[in-house]
A and B are shown apart, each in its own frame.
Chain A
Amino acid sequence: MSAGAGGATTDTLHTHALTLEKVTCAFAAQHLPALVYTAIRDVSLGVARGEFVSVVGPTGCGKSTILNIAAGLLTPSAGKVSVFGVPLQGINRAAGYMFQTDALMPWLSSIDNVAIGLVYRGAVWNDARDRAQEWLGRVGLAGHGERYPHQLSGGMKKRVALAQMLILDPQILLMDEPFSALDIQTRQLMENELLDLWSADRKSVIFITHDLEEAISLSDRVILLSAGPEAHPIGEYPIDLARPRDVAEIRLTPNFIELHREIWAALKKEVLAGYMQSHAM
């Protein structure tokens, strides 16, 4: 990094767990290379250490693209990604990823699913299973270690996935609409549990969602994304609600409602734009 970058950059290095600078990601259609779809353009965002950031936007606005770039699963066409000030190359080893759809290995029991990350990193199965058992207990599944994913309910699978990610103690959590497939009660339960686990050691979180209420009730900051293609951040809203929070109760406070009204006014425009776009094609 050049010396001319100045104090602000040095400062960023120390406070930010993850930064994206002018990241653009374009996809070429497989059979028509001339047809290029630019999912996101010039996206810059940073997540401070210990900060819970939600990214909200209309469907198909490239939210998952941003997350995959942050995870190192996808290489951006242009722009820079740094993790704790170091440019990201390959898979982001400091990050844990919770996927929107089922990502558990169906051929492993829940306890082995939780343990496997440790095994990948060199642990012996027996030790890894001991620690996994501990984590299963922490997500409320102590007695379900021997069950296979297909024997678990949707909420239980999400708990296993959460334990699978957290057992590796990642400094950054990347979460892609992790609870969107759950019913509303299970979902609020899981959100509260996530906040509990998170508040224990305050990791940096990027939480992708299309649900504004979920975003506000969980986060320290909400970033609003424009409709795709060429999606980019169009607004940032600090959420100054007190912690610890209960996601079901906080929705009824006047502060929450005020924030919701403000962000929704901006989001609505993008949702309509996205809707028009998807129907114009």
Chain B
Amino acid sequence: MKRAGILRLSLYQALLLGSLFAAWYLLTENDILPPFFFGKPIVVLERVWNWFVSGKIYRHLGATLLETVCAFVSGTLVGLIIGLWLALSPLASALLDPYIKALNSMPRVILAPIFSVWFGLGMLSKVALGFTLVVFIVFFNVYQGVKEVSPVVLANARMLGANARQLLRTVYLPSATSWVFSSLHISVGMAFVGAVVGEYLGSAAGVGYLILQAEGSFDIDTVFAGIVVLTMFALLLDTLVTFAERRLLRWRPTRAESEPL
């Protein structure tokens, strides 16, 4: 897309956001929606602004982001390893298949109270919850990615003399990476969910904790302010993943690039 086109699109996107806020403002100002339940956008933004200016938010935001990143990294690594292992070992895959399905279909948020008991109210229980959410997403994608390696590319690598370890390094892993990246966008969000839900269920710090506190005193504006901050940082994390994806998957055709030479 041309540069001017991108600019115009960004402008429209900003306008859409602005009009949503305007609608929210008008509806709550005129009491069509009760401000007690829906908050007031001006107050919400003011709250966000004050958090950052006073610096009160940084401790909580830092905690939430650290939990998210830990859950994301550990879940991705373990998912990658288990995915590669099961995809390349038919016996293990057949043996564990029903258990993986069972674990995946279990609503894992109910594990949060158990994790609180096991790991206490600190960071670790939140990381554990995020981990259980992330690991399955990455695992399934890696598994699929390895299963869908082109048989021709595989046969070619074998004819060129690759041994099992070289096949893993130069064929299975790169092929799985593109699948992993498509899952990372979802899993970074899931890591965030794990952290916030964990905080919400019991903690002493974090944005989820702030929201819980505000809710306790029916301070809807602060609840919304927490949501706005969370959304902003979820978007930021997603952008980072996109950036990493562009760097690491340079070999993959993108629409803009695949014009005939």
Binding site for B on A (CB under 8 A): 71, 73, 91-93, 95-97, 99, 101-109, 116-117, 120-121, 148-153, 164, 168
Chain B residues, CB < 8 A from A150 = 251-253, 258
Q: Does B32 contact A (CB under 8 A)?
A: no
Q: Is there contact, CB below 8 Å, between A120 and B160?
A: yes
Assuming the contacts A99-B152, A153-B261, asked whether A148 and B251 have C-beta atoms less than 8 A apart, the reply is: yes
Q: Is there contact, CB below 8 Å, between B152 and A101?
A: yes
Select which of B156, B170, B175, B252 is within 8 A of A103 by beta carbon.
B156
Select which of B158, B171, B252, B253 is within 8 A of A105 by beta carbon.
B171
Q: Is there contact, CB below 8 Å, between A151 and B261?
A: yes
Chain B residues, CB < 8 A from A73 = 155, 158-159
Chain A residues, CB < 8 A from B158 = 73, 91
- SS class of chain A's interface: helix, strand, loop or mixed? loop
Sampled A-B contacts (6; CB under 8 Å): A93-B161, A102-B153, A105-B174, A120-B162, A150-B252, A151-B261
Bound complex: CA of A242 vs CA of B126, how far in Å?
A: 78
Q: For A120, A150, A164, which residue has the most chain B Cβ atoms within 10 angstroms?
A: A120
Bound complex: CA of A39 vs CA of B247, how far in Å?
A: 46
Chain A residues, CB < 8 A from B175 = 107
| Chain A: CB-nearest residue to B250 | A148
Bound complex: CA of A71 vs CA of B154, how far in Å?
A: 14
Q: Does B182 contact A (CB under 8 A)?
A: no
Q: Does B163 contact A (CB under 8 A)?
A: yes
Bound complex: CA of A97 vs CA of B177, how far in Å?
A: 27
A237 to chain B minimum Cβ distance, whole angstroms, is 29
Q: Is there contact, CB below 8 Å, between A168 and B160?
A: yes
A167 to chain B minimum Cβ distance, whole angstroms, is 9
Interface magnitude class on chain B: 20 to 34
Assuming the contacts A106-B251, A107-B251, asked whether A117 and B161 have C-beta atoms less than 8 A apart, the reply is: yes
Binary A-proximity of B133-156 (CB < 8 A = 1, otherwise 0): 000000000000000001011011
Q: Is there contact, CB below 8 Å, between B170 and A151?
A: no
Q: Is there contact, CB below 8 Å, between A120 and B161?
A: yes
Bound complex: CA of A72 vs CA of B43, how far in Å?
A: 73
Bound complex: CA of A33 vs CA of B158, how far in Å?
A: 28
Bound complex: CA of A93 vs CA of B160, how far in Å?
A: 8
Bound complex: CA of A121 vs CA of B161, how far in Å?
A: 6
Q: Does B157 contact A (CB under 8 A)?
A: yes
Assuming the contacts A117-B160, A120-B166, asked whether A106 and B252 have C-beta atoms less than 8 A apart, the reply is: yes
Bound complex: CA of A116 vs CA of B169, how far in Å?
A: 12
Q: Is there contact, CB below 8 Å, between B257 and A99?
A: no
Q: Is there contact, CB below 8 Å, between B251 and A97?
A: no
Bound complex: CA of A49 vs CA of B26, how far in Å?
A: 87
A103 to chain B minimum Cβ distance, whole angstroms, is 4
A108 to chain B minimum Cβ distance, whole angstroms, is 7
